């Protein structure tokens, strides 16, 4: 039997942040100051609840317009983002769906970066957004599956 020496493992991850399986995040591109997200390491791609999706061209560039249902925002409000891709993605039932993929800014704790997110009708789901592996990969985050809300509310950095 081989015993692994983990003496250097702790130091290799000493500058990583630990997050819970659910965290408060912000999506400032869509004026969402806080939304409860599920950190889903079993999902490759992130997914955001959006309805009434329409593909359109803006100055010759493909965009998607959509509505993100949320309290206090009328159904007539439309968000828009450039289309990154259209991908076949397995839903929670394992059924392949063709989904639009966009890019948006993610704020989690005091950190921010851009992520790709697919748009899906998640009305029947508990969480309006899930963050998949590709959203958190390369950002020095570890998930504590038995913990929630470890990193605090998202903090927007004000432009200088």
Give the CATH number of domain 17-144; options: 3.90.245.10, 2.40.70.10, 3.40.50.720, 3.30.70.1230.
2.40.70.10
Q: What share of the chain is helix, strand, coil (3-state, %, to 5)?
A: 5, 50, 45
Q: By C-alpha distance, which of 12, 10, 14, 21 is closest to 43?
A: 21
> Could you tell me the pTM of the whole model?
0.88
Contacts of 28 (CB under 8 A, 6+ apart): 105, 107, 156
- Could you read off the pLDDT of 41-75 as tens digits, one per residue? 999 999 999 999 999 999 999 999 999 998 777 77
Residue-averaged pLDDT of the chain: 91
């Amino acid at each position: 039997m081989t015993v692994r020496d983990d003496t250097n493992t702790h130091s290799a991850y000493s500058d990583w942040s630990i997050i819970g399986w659910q965290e408060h995040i912000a999506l400032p591109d869509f004026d969402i100051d806080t939304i409860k997200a599920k950190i889903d390491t079993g999902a490759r791609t992130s997914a955001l609840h959006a309805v009434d999706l329409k593909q359109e061209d803006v100055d010759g560039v493909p965009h998607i317009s959509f509505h993100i249902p949320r309290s206090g925002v009328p159904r007539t409000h439309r968000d828009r983002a450039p289309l990154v891709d259209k991908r076949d993605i397995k839903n929670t039932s394992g059924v392949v769906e063709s989904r639009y993929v966009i890019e948006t800014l993610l704020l989690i704790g005091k950190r921010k970066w851009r992520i790709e997110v697919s748009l899906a009708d998640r009305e029947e789901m508990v969480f309006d957004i899930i963050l998949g592996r590709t959203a958190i990969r390369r950002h020095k985050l570890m998930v504590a599956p038995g913990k929630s809300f470890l990193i605090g509310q998202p903090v927007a950095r004000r432009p200088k």
